Structure 1
Amino acid sequence: MSHMQSEWLRQLAYLVHTNRELGLMLRGIKPLSYFMDIIGQEPDICIRYWRMFDRHVALGRLVRREVIEVCPGAPQLEYRMLFYALPGHEWQVDAMLALLNEPGAWSDRRERRFGELLGYEAWQIDYWLAHRRSPAGA
């Protein structure tokens, strides 16, 4: 994430979940976390973060699902989608995969559903949709 983008995110009217996912999930606030990286190019910090999640998977506090796909336009590369869900919320992984695989352009409706599945409140999603296209966020 660029410095300009991270500065813009800090100025939002709410705290984004980025780098706070595990704590929010363990408190039952966030039902689903989603990560995506090119296999073999994952930053070490991400691998360490996922290990923290995996400790809770081993204890039954979280459920993990991994989906590996070939990169469109770069068949020599694969990407990993990694999902962590609260027990009983596994359906949200399926709903997220369906959303991500919908044909057509990304829309405000899809962006709203994406936020809902990740556990953002309606007012936060409304705020995001209203402000994400601002020049400061570009």
Structure 2
Amino acid sequence: MTDMHSELLHQQPYLVHTNRELGLMLRGAKPLAYFMDIIGREPDVCLRYWRMFDRHVDLGRLIRREVFEPCPGLPQLKYRRLFYALPGHEWRIDAMLALLNELEAWSEDHERRSCELLGYEGWQIDYWLAHRRSRVNA
């Protein structure tokens, strides 16, 4: 994560899920985590983080689903969409995949729905969208 991106995340008036997904999920405060990376090019830190999730999958505390797809314009590469959900929230994986697969242009409605699926509260999403809009317009 870039320093600027990290700084923006720390400026939010709520706990941003990034890099806190596992702890939030184990407390039941986050129903879905979503990661995406090119297969074979995943940073070691991500591989270690996912292994931590997988220990809880093995214990039945989390559900894991992977989806593999070719990279657009680079058929020699594939990317992985990796989802972890709390038991009983597997429907969120299907809903997120449907949202991601309907994309022609990512809209504010798409952003709102993805944030809902990931477990953010309405006021948090409203704040994120308002400030995201102001950064884009700046």
TM-score tier after normalising by the smaller chain length: over 0.9
Instruction: Give the corresponding residue for 1:41.
Output: 41
How far off its partner does 1:47 sit?
0.3
RMSD of aligned C-alpha atoms?
A: 1.5
State yes or no: 1:25 paired with 2:15.
no
How far off its partner does 1:133 sit?
3.1
Hey, what's the Cα distance between the residues in 1 that align with 2:31 and 2:136?
A: 30
How far off its partner does 1:98 sit?
0.1
- After superposition, residues 49-68 of structure 1 pair within 5 angstroms as 49-68=49-68
Q: How many matched pairs?
A: 138
4+ aligned runs moved over 4 Å, structure 1: none
Hey, what's the Cα distance between the residues in 1 that align with 2:97 and 2:18?
A: 20
Percent of pairs with identical residues: 77
Q: Which runs of 5+ in 2 are unaligned?
A: none
Instruction: Give the corresponding residue for 2:107.
Output: 107
Structure 1 residues 137 and 46: CA distance shift in structure 2, 3 A: farther
Instruction: Give the corresponding residue for 1:8.
Output: 8
Instruction: Give the corresponding residue for 1:126.
Output: 126
Q: TM-score, with normalisation over the residues of structure 2?
A: 0.95
Q: TM-score, with normalisation over the residues of structure 1?
A: 0.95
Hey, what's the Cα distance between the residues in 2 that align with 1:136 and 1:107?
A: 13
